[in-house]
Amino acid sequence: MDWASIFIYDTTWAFAAEILIRVIVMFVLIISFLRFTGKRGVRQLSIFELTIILSLGSIAGDPMFTKELPIIQAVIIMSTVILLYRLCTWGMMKYQPFEDLLEGKSLYIVEDGMLVYDKIVEGKMSHDEFFAEMRQQGVEHLGQVRTGLLETDGNFSLLLYPPDDTSYGLPLFPKQYQAVEQVESGTYYACMYCGYLDFISDANQQCGRCEDNCRNWAKALNTKLVR
């Protein structure tokens, strides 16, 4: 067994420096790519934490069975990633804009029982995803929700109205989230696109808030939260 080959193999100073540059470039690439997908983190991990895990992912295992991959190279890579991690964490604590750049901002998705309109337009949210999130937290319709915030780690935080302040709102469960064909007078209907409430007179009426985006209305609910 040749110890020098396990630890050093053909590593030169020049190649060590090259590894350093490669790691930094890849780190920036991974984080940019993840940010550009527009996705939030997954399962309690922010984009930044995900980048660390992806960066360390293959380097931990490969040197265990790859002859051409000496331990020293893995050590250089891991140290660089950890250094970048420390540097970014420090930067994020010091400068808010840097944190927003790496992790994104938390976004208001629901305000006062309605979906925040420009967030839908920007494509920052899909109805399915956020309806599912709210349903899982026991919410039946938007009239129960005062504020819904999408966190940078992809979690959804909700502030709910107390039962007495619950108003009419867009239903979130599939059976009630259905476009009506016949309109009853004196009944609240909710725009299926943005959650805007109206007494409509025609099932194909334009929404007063999102205008041309929606001509579908669901019968609004005002059931109160039971906790």
Residues that bind Zn ion (CB under 5 A): 191, 193-194, 196, 207, 209-210, 214
* Closest distance to Zn ion from the beta carbon of 191 (Å): 3
* Closest distance to Zn ion from the beta carbon of 44 (Å): 33
Residue 93 per-residue DSSP state: H
Of the pair 144, 216, the CB lying nearest Zn ion is at 216
Q: Other C-beta atoms within 10 Å of 23: how many?
A: 20
* Closest distance to Zn ion from the beta carbon of 189 (Å): 11
Q: Are 20 and 73 in contact (CB under 8 A)?
A: no
Measured between its terminal Cα atoms, the distance across the chain in Å is 67
Residues 35 and 104: their CA atoms lie apart, in Å, by 8
Q: Are 169 and 142 in contact (CB under 8 A)?
A: yes
Of the pair 57, 208, the CB lying nearest Zn ion is at 208
Of the pair 48, 189, the CB lying nearest Zn ion is at 189
Of the pair 125, 207, the CB lying nearest Zn ion is at 207
Residues 43 and 40: their CA atoms lie apart, in Å, by 9
SS3 171: strand
Of the pair 80, 216, the CB lying nearest Zn ion is at 216
Residues 117 and 123: their CA atoms lie apart, in Å, by 10
β-bridge partners, 217? 191
* Closest distance to Zn ion from the beta carbon of 214 (Å): 5
* Closest distance to Zn ion from the beta carbon of 122 (Å): 16
